[in-house]
Amino acid sequence: MPAVLEIEGLRKTYKSRRRGTRNALDGFDMRVDAGQVHGFLGPNGSGKTTTLRTLLGLIRPDGGRMALLGHEVPGALPTVAGQVGAIVESPQFFPHFSARDTLSLLAGAGEVPAARVDEVLELVGLRDRAGERVKTYSLGMKQRLAVASALLKNPKLLILDEPANGLDPGGIREMRTLMRTLAESGMTVVLSSHILGEIQLICDSVTIISLGRRVAFGPVDEVLAQHSSGAVRVRLEAVSDLPAATDALTRAGVRVTGHPDHLMLAGVDKPATVTRLLAENNLYVSELAPVAVDLESVFLELTATAPVPGQHRQVDESTKVGGTGQPGPTGGGWGA
Amino acid sequence: MSLYRTELRRLAKRRFTRYMSLLGLLVLAAVVIGVFFTNEKIGADQLARAERQAEQNYQEQVTWAKEARASCEQAKSAGTANDGRYPEDCSVITPPPRDQIQAEWFLPSTFNFRETFAETLIPFAAILALVGFVVGASFIGAEWSTGGMMNLLLWRPKRLTVLLTKLAALLTGILAVTLPAAVLWFAGFWAVASFRGSTEKMTSGVWQSFALTGLRGVVLVLVLTTVGFALASLGRHTAMALGGVVAVMVVGQFGLGILLSMASVRFAEAWLLPTYALAWMTKKVTLQDWNSCNANYSGECEPNTFDITWQQSSVLLSVGVVVILGAALWAMRRRDIS
């Protein structure tokens, strides 16, 4: 499948006399294949928005290579800009214009037919409020308008930074459906969001960034599988058999954590071997359940941003790629 | 071209543009109306009235001189004339000669198109330049501060083209207001002169001179519009331009003016920007050093002079535009947009 977005070794460094040098992007890589809905995840200050801004020519990179729809950017941005719709960070519009005026002016600048304005207003549910000034809009309505502006070009690649921000539950579901519909129509969607449940539901693949570097990427299932611990929860018919079961499993090389009414096993490739082993020792299983891992737990594990009771994690405290994954204050985090 | 048309639409849609333009035009209209009502056509009635007033004034002077001389002589005979109120010789208290009190002094104000119209082009240019400056600053400043510029660059990722197209649209819009306003200004004062003054002695040379002054006024409007636009773009906010100009005028001009005056610097006005704007409009401003004395053939003291010409002003305006707009373009090309 051809790549519509490729980033290799992207670097962006901010230098400040007061705050020193910070690497917002530190050799970041990313690839998005055509027709996918791709999730772009990272904690606050990890470099997501810097990546998107750099990709779209708003920020000058210090190194690396980027390509959109097969064209090297930023050099070829004028060529591909008409095929890339994007919203970056919070929606920002001139507050005294109506939604229709805002979109109409963008359509004029981009040589998009005026009829497309009404189409996208209908698509994002702003048809009946299109004549009102943007300053009267709620955050969710501004978000819808931002998505409408990105869709105006009918792009091949749609880049949305936190599109569900401020949306009500119904709006989030509508947005999810819209993303899927767009992907089915052949559009590639890159979605940056912190609502990981949504990402897991609608994305085909993900890239996770932490401190300006990629820490995980690939199809969602693969990323989950890679970070699945192979944990299995076992209950026996008789609670009194738990110590014997612990002995048997430990002797077989399985890591066992005991609990009052069940055992947690780690590093189990095939749960069936557990059943067989226990049955051979006349211990009978009443429940054997693989513990599923979700995107949120993988994200928290990879970025080491899980909350710790009694500690207040600072925005730049995250994990270093290739390191031990221990959280700690490091440089980075500007401009993201 | 589509971007240019779109930016023209954006400019026209902005309420600030509309209100400021309307306000500027209303002030100009108020000036014309004010001049209309404070001037009168000079006819036989006005001349006769002026003659009567001059005669009346002369008679008042005669009466006053008589009374003063009588008082002087009375004080002298009473021996109380030494308090400095009266001259030694009371006979020197005389009324002025009749011909010294001219009837022209008592004529009502009248608008002579040939003599006065060129001066009116100065407030015309100043008001529209002010409108151009704030509209220009707001046009780009609001785009930066509301994120509109970022949105636009996502559609048209050619930064310099976007900025220069916006400037071109802005200047077109300002010209679209200034040129009809200039025509109305000429027509308005022609009407004022026709009904409340005189349109005599208008030769083609005078018309040409007015046209050139008007053209310089339009150029001044465009220059200040560009400066406002460029300053706001540099600071990414309308307030940058407005604050900048307040700082320059208050600190750089009033403050500098006071400082130079205290230091008794010769031709202090030569350091002040409004002098150059005035020279641009009037072709020449002659500064005088009142601390110097050059005796002329009749023995009178004449001050040293220093001329500032419109050519010198044109150099200053050109350099100012190039430097400020150049900085805005350079910053637009180089900086990160967030």
Global ipTM: 0.75
Contacts of A94 in chain B (CB under 8 A): 142-143, 146, 148
Residues B55 and B164 in one domain: no
Give, as one character, the DSSP assignment of residue B219: H
Contact B155 A92 (CB under 8 A): no
Contact B336 A101 (CB under 8 A): no
Q: Return the H-helix or E-strand segment holding B160.
A: helix B159-196
**Straight-line distance from the first to the last Cα atom of chain B, in angstroms, rounded to the nearest whole number:** 27
Contacts of A92 in chain B (CB under 8 A): 146-148, 150-151
Partner-chain residue, chosen from B151, B157, B336, that has the shortest CB–CB distance to A77: B157
pLDDT in tens, B39-59: 998 888 888 999 999 999 999
| CATH number of the domain where residue A261 is located | 3.30.70
Sign of CA dihedral B169, B174, B177, B179: negative
Q: Return the H-helix or E-strand segment holding A14.
A: strand A3-16
- Candidates A51, A87, A88, A157: best to mutate against B (most CBs of B within 10 A) is A88
Quick one: which of B126, B129, B132, B124 has its CA closest to B35? Answer: B124
Per-residue pLDDT of chain A (336 residues; tens, 9 = 90+): 788 999 999 999 988 888 788 888 989 999 999 988 999 988 888 888 899 999 999 999 999 999 999 999 889 999 999 899 998 877 678 888 999 999 999 999 888 898 999 999 998 888 899 999 998 988 888 888 988 999 998 899 999 988 877 778 887 888 788 888 888 888 999 998 887 877 888 889 999 888 888 988 888 888 877 776 677 889 998 888 999 999 998 888 888 888 888 998 877 778 888 889 899 988 889 988 877 777 777 777 777 776 666 666 666 665 544 444 333 333 332 223
Residues A88 and A154 in one domain: yes
Residues A165 and A259 in one domain: no
Residues A208 and A132 in one domain: yes
Partner-chain residue, chosen from A84, A111, A149, that has the shortest CB–CB distance to B151: A149
- Residue B47 corresponds to which tokens in the numbers above? 């001349």
Are the beta carbons of A109 and A81 closer than 8 angstroms? no
B18 in contact with A, Cβ within 8 Å: no
Token match 């994200």: residue? A299
Give, as one character, the DSSP assignment of residue B205: H
Nearest-by-CA chain A residue for B157: A78
Torsion angle in degrees (nearest 10) through CA of A221, A222, A227, A232: 60
Q: What is the pLDDT of residue A315?
A: 60
Quick one: which of A51, A63, A70, A58 has its CA closest to A3? Answer: A70
Partner-chain residue, chosen from B3, B10, B336, that has the shortest CB–CB distance to A59: B336
Residues B35 and B122 in one domain: yes
Quick one: which of B1, B151, B10 has its CA closest to A152? Answer: B151
Q: What is the pLDDT of residue A330?
A: 33
CA distance to partner chain A, nearest, from residue B122 (Å): 34
- Residue B32 corresponds to which tokens in the numbers above? 């014309």
Are the beta carbons of B154 and A79 closer than 8 angstroms? no
Strand A157-161: give its sheet, edge to edge. A84-87, A157-161, A188-192, A37-41, A205-210, A213-219
Residues B170 and B238 in one domain: yes
CA distance to partner chain B, nearest, from residue A148 (Å): 12
CA distance to partner chain B, nearest, from residue A263 (Å): 52
Residues B222 and B272 in one domain: yes
CA distance to partner chain A, nearest, from residue B148 (Å): 6
CA distance A296 to A293: 8
Q: What is the pLDDT of residue A334?
A: 27
Q: What is the pLDDT of residue A336?
A: 31
Partner-chain residue, chosen from A56, A77, A93, that has the shortest CB–CB distance to B146: A93
CA distance B157 to A82: 10
CA distance A288 to A236: 9
3-class SS letters over B51-107 = HHHHHHHHHHHHHHHHHHHHHHHHHHHHCCHHHCCCCCCHHHCCCCCHHHCCHHHHC
Are the beta carbons of A56 and A22 closer than 8 angstroms? no
Quick one: which of B62, B135, B126 has its CA closest to B93? Answer: B62
Neighbouring C-beta atoms of residue A157, cutoff 10 Å: 21
Q: What is the pLDDT of residue A328?
A: 36
Q: What is the pLDDT of residue A333?
A: 26
Instruction: Out of A195, A225, A255, pick the residue that ends a domain.
Output: A225
Instruction: Establish if A316 belongs to a structural domain.
Output: no
Residues B91 and B173 in one domain: no
User: Which parts of chain B have pLDDT scores under 70?
Assistant: 1, 81-83
pLDDT in tens, B243-278: 888 877 777 777 888 888 888 788 888 888 889 999
Residues A97 and A166 in one domain: yes
- Say what angle helices B159-196 and B2-13 make with each other, to 10 degrees: 50
- Say what angle helices B238-247 and B204-235 make with each other, to 10 degrees: 120
Alpha helices (runs of H) in A164-294, residue ranges in sequence order: 169-184, 196-202, 220-226, 242-251, 271-280
- Candidates B3, B10, B15, B151: best to mutate against A (most CBs of A within 10 A) is B151
CA distance to partner chain B, nearest, from residue A261 (Å): 55
CA distance B308 to B273: 11
Can you give the residue range of the structural domain that contains A36? 3-225
| Partner residues linked to A233 by β-bridges | A264, A289
Nearest-by-CA chain A residue for B332: A58
Instruction: Establish if A306 belongs to a structural domain.
Output: no
Number of domains in chain B: 2
Alpha helices (runs of H) in B197-255, residue ranges in sequence order: 204-235, 238-247
Is the preceding peptide bond at A329 cis, omega within 30 degrees of 0? Answer: no
Q: How far is CA B34 from the centre of its chain?
A: 16
Partner-chain residue, chosen from A60, A81, A108, that has the shortest CB–CB distance to B336: A60
Partner-chain residue, chosen from A77, A95, A105, that has the shortest CB–CB distance to B6: A105
Q: What is the pLDDT of residue B116?
A: 92
Number of domains in chain A: 2
Please provide the DSSP assignment of A268-329 as one string: -S-HHHHHHHHHHTT--EEEEEEPP--HHHHHHHHHT----TT----TTEEPPTTS----EE
CA distance to partner chain A, nearest, from residue B338 (Å): 7
Residues B257 and B305 in one domain: yes
Residues B9 and B80 in one domain: no
Instruction: Out of B71, B106, B141, pick the residue that ends a domain.
Output: B106
CA distance to partner chain B, nearest, from residue A55 (Å): 10
Give, as one character, the DSSP assignment of residue A164: T
| CATH number of the domain where residue A153 is located | 3.40.50.300
Residues B186 and B58 in one domain: no
Residues A112 and A176 in one domain: yes
CA distance to partner chain B, nearest, from residue A107 (Å): 9
Pairing of strands A317-318, A328-329: antiparallel
B154 in contact with A, Cβ within 8 Å: yes
Contacts of A91 in chain B (CB under 8 A): 147
Chain A, chain B: beta-carbon pairs less than 8 Å apart: 77
Contacts of A86 in chain B (CB under 8 A): 154
Quick one: which of B278, B268, B264, B262 has its CA closest to B312? Answer: B278
B147 in contact with A, Cβ within 8 Å: yes
B144 in contact with A, Cβ within 8 Å: no
- Residue B314 corresponds to which tokens in the numbers above? 């044109």
Can you give the residue range of the structural domain that contains B58? 44-106
B336 in contact with A, Cβ within 8 Å: yes
Quick one: which of A53, A315, A39, A45 has its CA closest to A164? Answer: A39
Contact A81 B157 (CB under 8 A): yes
Residues A13 and A44 in one domain: yes
- Say what angle helices B204-235 and B113-146 make with each other, to 10 degrees: 20
- Candidates B154, B237, B335: best to mutate against A (most CBs of A within 10 A) is B154
Instruction: Establish if A336 belongs to a structural domain.
Output: no
Residues A241 and A190 in one domain: no
Are the beta carbons of B39 and B110 closer than 8 angstroms? yes
Give, as one character, the DSSP assignment of residue B264: T
- Residue A167 corresponds to which tokens in the numbers above? 């949306």
Nearest-by-CA chain B residue for A74: B157
CA distance B106 to A186: 88
Instruction: Out of A225, A253, A269, pick the residue that ends a domain.
Output: A225
CA distance A10 to A30: 9
